[in-house]
Chain A
Amino acid sequence: MVERSKVMKNFWRGGELFVWMSASGVAFSLLMVAGMLALIMINGLGQFWPGALQETTLKTQETVIGQVVGEEVIPNSVTPDSPAGQRRFRYRVGNRDVFGAEYRWINAADIVSNARPEDLTVVERREWGPAFGRISVGVEGAAAGSASGSSWTTVKNLVERANQLRRRIEHLEREEIGSINYRIEKARLARHALTLSGQLSPGDTEKAGILLDQIAVLERDYLAKTEALERLHKEAGQEVLFLTLSTGRSVRLSLDQVLAVSRPNGMNWFEKLWAYAHNLWLFVSSEPREANTEGGIFPAIFGTVLMVFLMTLAVMPFGVMAAVYLREYATQGSLVRLVRIAVNNLAGVPSIVFGVFGLAFFVYALGGTIDQWLFPEALPNPTFGTGGILWASLTLALLTVPVVIVATEEGLSAVPRDFREGSLGLGATKFETLRHVILPCALPGILTGLILAMARAAGEVAPLMLTGVVKLAPALPLDEYLPFLHLDRKFMHLGFHIYDVGFQSPNVEAAKPMVYMTTLILILVVVSLNWAAVRLRNRLRRRFTASAL
């Protein structure tokens, strides 16, 4: 007994307990980081794997076809008789248009048998998400003569052809008709601009007439193109697949609705890997469908990158200039010290405040004025007087400029005094010293600041919501029409995409895997930028501590 109490006493006195307690803080933080990353990776990366389709027969003689995506103990099923409780499985049964819901719970107790026949097919559709079933009858319509029943190769070839047709339709719609629309709108605005001044000179009248003729020609062109489009649509709609669902019901699938067909149960490991890579590529490179809950996120990635790029262009010269002024040119006194603290603290001001400022200053005040001066013909439709990628980038530039200033100042102050004095002593002017000696030495610091600013900008969402981000942008801010870069356009953003799809879409459950993947991409971008900045900063510190010795 005495021995034991002595052990306890030592334990208490030694304070080991408290050391361990503090260690638990570190352990907990690391667990949270690791857990969160694992969660996002598993949920995000898992979705592209072609999951097996399971055909389950229930006690009620009902058959269910679907991917098993989860299982759990039925809540409140734990009773004294069954301490483990009842289990149930979550099936993704697809066919949202027929079944009403994409997911379904099935109690383990109800299952009679499970099977994974190879002929179960996943049909990716343009609308209503995937459909699961058997392609039973084969083909009907234009290609009926060539098809010999329901052979899998025939089906695949048909889908491939339908996809080619769809690409042609898309090209026609977007490129050709889009371009005509764009030119009509331009001509219309140009004509309106002529009439705005009130009095038309003879030359102006002539110009207006020419524009009117142009519009007429374009409109004829437009009609011809829409007719061609109509024909293509008809052609695409002719071919039909029949899919037998788990309920035995046969569903007609027009081929222009079908994006891809696959039979995951028949795939080998290599084929699955290939399908995985293909799906992943489609996700990053294609456009969203179905209110952003399906398809890809290319416009969001593009918007994020372009916005960050524009922001960098704005923030770099001004941030560096301000830092150089504060550190090299301003008289160091209490005022500069105060300004430094204030700038430093601006980095801690909530981002939404910058968003509010951006909305009032850039969008309403600046944009409204620009519209009145430069784009009066489009009024009352705003051109710059509404949110757009330029205003969003400038708002974020304001938000991140303190980061650049602080990092640049740190870089400048780390340049040893001897360097400056040496350069000045050799007769260089102050600016020459700055340009050829100090700035090259401080470059890593400046870059660190820039990278940190980019990372911060890529992850911010709140200010963007007020200054120009949208859930679905009709066109990218960069295209082949003059002036190529459309600074007034609204844009899509990865972070806002997460918010929008996760919280405002009609079918959150089905969209969740996509959101996880989007999240993963955003985190990858932001965290890798931050790592780069940290590495750069550490190298900078080492370099100058070494040189100071």
Chain B
Amino acid sequence: MDDVVIDIFGRAVVPQSSADAEAEDLAPALEAVCFALNRAVSTSEASEILGRSPRAVEAAAEVLASQLRGRGLMLQRHAGAIQLVTRAEEAWAVHRALNPERPARLSRAAMETLAIIAYRQPVTRATIEAIRGVNCEAVLDHLEQRALIAETGRQDTPGRPRLFGTTLRFLQIVGLESIADLPAMPEGADLAGLVDPVLEP
């Protein structure tokens, strides 16, 4: 069992090093579970399977993701879920092995919409339409049907519009470990401050 230190308030505290050690210990089990289930696993589900706290699972996921760097697999993490997938850099080899059916191509409208959602998530349809200047309803429906985007909540404004974000499937398509790995937008692009004068007064 980990060493426990009593802090000045008399509380038992697991030293950071012990938490790290626990994460190191748990990482292989997490890897095995992800491999065996072969689908996205939520932190709470993994926590239940492994009998550890969600926080411990998240720490183990961090360790596992780091251990897998330089290997043929990677751990994708998004919105409280993880999945073990082949690394994007090795896609060429997997394509040769599986010769997978290519999914229907995305239109440019869909790609632009997806990029806006990826960089600005969570984002409302009104904001997307303000940026693109056209109605995006059908494009959003299509992206949602293809599980590339999902509703992440409702904005706390009149009408409570839906908020959209990307999914693990999106990460799989673009081959990123997490949204944090999205390529940086050009410097000086202060996107957060840009709003539509019509739709977002």
Q: Do A and B bind each other?
A: no
Residues of B within 8 A of A (CB): none
Residues of A within 8 A of B (CB): none
